[in-house]
Amino acid sequence: MKQYHYDPVTLAYLGSTDAFPDPEEPGNFIIAGNAVVFAPAENLIPGDGQAIGILQDLSDWTVYENKIGKHYYDADGKEYTIVRLGEILPEWALSVPPLNAGDDKAARIAMANIRIVELIDLTDPDLVDPVDPANVAKLRAWRLYRNQLIALDVRVTPIVWPKVPQ
């Protein structure tokens, strides 16, 4: 008699072996743990990114999407890994870790600093003659934006980011 093995964690089909006869009960066989006595149907043919596995209730074999090893994240950045065939991601799952609000704030301030330095050169009367009043207004807007970012408390949610100047 054949027995068909599956991985107890992933539920993936591992192959088959012969079951050993039970020496205490002639006609019966000893079935290994994590094995069943019915084979996967011959029409179960996994495609790319799929694998044959047993249903969680151990009632039948099926073809699952194989996402084992895929990482996902919650809103706090905690990482999870798919360990079972057919595991469905929770609705709250993120495919990439969320950006830390403090890092986002720092990136926005850095962007503002770069833009401010560019505009300082464009509004310096020793470098540009005549100075374009539109650039002076842009410089003021970017400085205001940077000051609003500096004052922003990213620990308070929801975060209301100041509008980026045009």
In a domain, 20, yes or no: yes
Share of the chain above pLDDT 90, in %: 75
Range of the domain at 50: 2-65
**Which tokens is 71 given?**
């990482």
Backbone φ, ψ for residue 136 (5° rounding): -65, -45
Last residue of a domain, one of 65, 90, 115: 65
pTM value is 0.56
- Cα separation, 63 vs 54, whole angstroms: 8
Lowest average pLDDT, out of 32-41, 88-97, 131-140, goes to 88-97
Asked whether the predicted pLDDT for residue 77 surpasses 80, the reply is no
> Are residues 107 and 57 both part of a single domain?
no
| Mean pLDDT rounded to a whole number for the chain | 92
Q: What is the dihedral of CA 133, 139, 142, 148, to 10 degrees?
A: -100
Residues 6+ apart with CB under 8 A from 69: 81, 82
Number of domains within the chain: 2
> Are residues 6 and 61 both part of a single domain?
yes
| Of the candidates 70, 28, 63, the residue with the CA atom closest to the CA atom of residue 48 | 63
In a domain, 141, yes or no: yes
In a domain, 75, yes or no: no
Last residue of a domain, one of 65, 91, 118: 65
Q: Is the dihedral of CA 53, 67, 65, 45 positive or negative?
A: negative
In a domain, 159, yes or no: no
In a domain, 86, yes or no: no
Lowest average pLDDT, out of 7-16, 17-26, 51-60, 103-112, goes to 103-112
> Are residues 61 and 105 both part of a single domain?
no
> Are residues 61 and 107 both part of a single domain?
no
In a domain, 48, yes or no: yes
The helices-and-strands tally (H runs, E runs) of the chain is 2, 9
In a domain, 117, yes or no: yes
In a domain, 144, yes or no: yes
